[in-house]
Amino acid sequence: MWTHPRAIGLLVGYSLDRVFADPRHWHPVAGFGTTALRVERALYRDSKVFGVVHSLTLIGSVTALGIGSSRVATRLGGPADAALVAAATWAALGGTSLSRVGRQMADHLDGDDLDSARALLPSLCGRDPDSLDSDGLARAALESIAENTSDATVGVLVWGALAGAPGILAYRASNTLDAMVGYRSPKYQRFGWAAARIDDVLNLVPARVTGLATVLAAPLVQGSAGQAWKMWRRDASQHPSPNAGVAEAAAAGALGLQLGGRTQYRHGIEIRPTLGDGPAPTARDLRRAVGLSTRVQELSAVASAILAVAICQTRVRRHRRA
């Protein structure tokens, strides 16, 4: 049973997230964020060099913790290794909470409760909620759900399959730092450069896994697999992010919507290229996006477990040959 502890751990951790969502107290990611903020206060300079030191110090420390823990678990045997991967996966995943917030946002918009919708938006993205009407809130939430399906779930599962608990912790640390300082604002243009670039590199594979899963999942939410593929290939490269563009363009095609355009952040306005063909999102589309995200998460969990098994079997064969 414990021949493939990494695969078992990924599936158990994913199941824990589906049942319990994020840990309610003493959340490790929140604790990392608090630590990162303290380190930022000590190291902050308007400099790429200090930003590199900031990112490597924090990501390196978390990765070292993961490597040490993984070595101990391996010595203890398969059950301990599986338990470590399961705990890291559960702590790092945010897919169920993402879906819940998306449904809450749709409820607020359906009830024309814009004040509650605006108060909820910062839990999804960093846009300025006060400047958005109902359609703007729906678009912001839907784009965030598409992007965070990759960031909060698929990336965790893919890196868990590739590198176990150390991969999960390194990926989540990078993703959290990017969310904290990886902005094009005057304050973080230089200091956050390293965090943003590291996150871009670590998300290259997960974003494309998300795109493929979106294509496969589109018919499950009455969407179009063909359009998801077409919009991904046509529009993703226009997005300023090499990874968010994949997730958002594929989702736009799958749902038959158009995303992008004028995007208001607290630090200023960005004019994003449009992604997809169709009308602007509404609250109803937001519910479909949550369903699409859930299906993508499920497919990615299964694919990551299969990948973990394949990696384990490859290592066994190499060991036997040696």
Residue whose structure tokens are 């300079």: 45
The whole-angstrom distance between residue 269's C-alpha and the CA centroid of its chain comes to 23
**What's the CA gap between 213 and 202, in Å, rounded?**
18
User: How far are the Cα atoms of 3, 5, 153, 310, 319 from residue 316, in angstroms, in the given order?
Assistant: 10, 14, 28, 10, 5
Please report the pLDDT score of residue 266 as a whole number: 67
Which residue stretches of the chain are H helix? 5-20, 28-43, 48-76, 78-92, 95-110, 114-120, 134-149, 155-181, 193-202, 204-217, 225-235, 244-255, 283-321
* 184, pLDDT greater than 90: no
Do 195 and 43 meet the contact criterion of CB atoms below 8 Å apart?
no
Lowest-pLDDT range, 15-29, 49-63, 201-215, 227-241? Answer: 15-29
- 140-152 average pLDDT score: 95
The per-residue pLDDT for range 103-121, each reduced to its tens digit, is 999 999 999 999 999 999 9
Residue 37 CB neighbour total at 10 angstroms: 11
Please report the pLDDT score of residue 267 as a whole number: 63
- 189-194 average pLDDT score: 96
* 185, pLDDT greater than 60: yes
| DSSP 8-state symbol, 239 | S
Please report the pLDDT score of residue 104 as a whole number: 96
Please report the pLDDT score of residue 319 as a whole number: 76
Lowest-pLDDT range, 46-60, 115-129, 212-226? Answer: 115-129
- 277-304 average pLDDT score: 95
User: How far are the Cα atoms of 250, 259, 290, 300 from residue 231, in angstroms, in the given order?
Assistant: 6, 11, 19, 20
Do 92 and 172 meet the contact criterion of CB atoms below 8 Å apart?
yes
Q: Which of 174, 151, 122 is nearest to 244 (CA)?
A: 151
Please report the pLDDT score of residue 317 as a whole number: 80
Lowest-pLDDT range, 210-219, 230-239, 264-273? Answer: 264-273
141 — pLDDT class (breaks 50, 70, 90): very high
Do 259 and 253 meet the contact criterion of CB atoms below 8 Å apart?
no
* 271, pLDDT greater than 80: no
- 8-37 average pLDDT score: 91
The per-residue pLDDT for range 28-66, each reduced to its tens digit, is 998 999 999 999 999 999 999 999 999 999 999 999 999
The per-residue pLDDT for range 308-322, each reduced to its tens digit, is 999 988 887 887 776
- 279-283 average pLDDT score: 90
Please report the pLDDT score of residue 2 as a whole number: 55
194 — pLDDT class (breaks 50, 70, 90): very high
Q: Which of 234, 192, 209 is nearest to 303 (CA)?
A: 209
User: How far are the Cα atoms of 62, 72, 124, 208 from residue 67, in angstroms, in the given order?
Assistant: 9, 9, 31, 26
The percent of residues above 70 in pLDDT, for the chain, comes to 97
285 — pLDDT class (breaks 50, 70, 90): very high
Please report the pLDDT score of residue 190 as a whole number: 96
* 245, pLDDT greater than 60: yes
**More confident of the two residues 54 and 266:** 54
16 — pLDDT class (breaks 50, 70, 90): very high
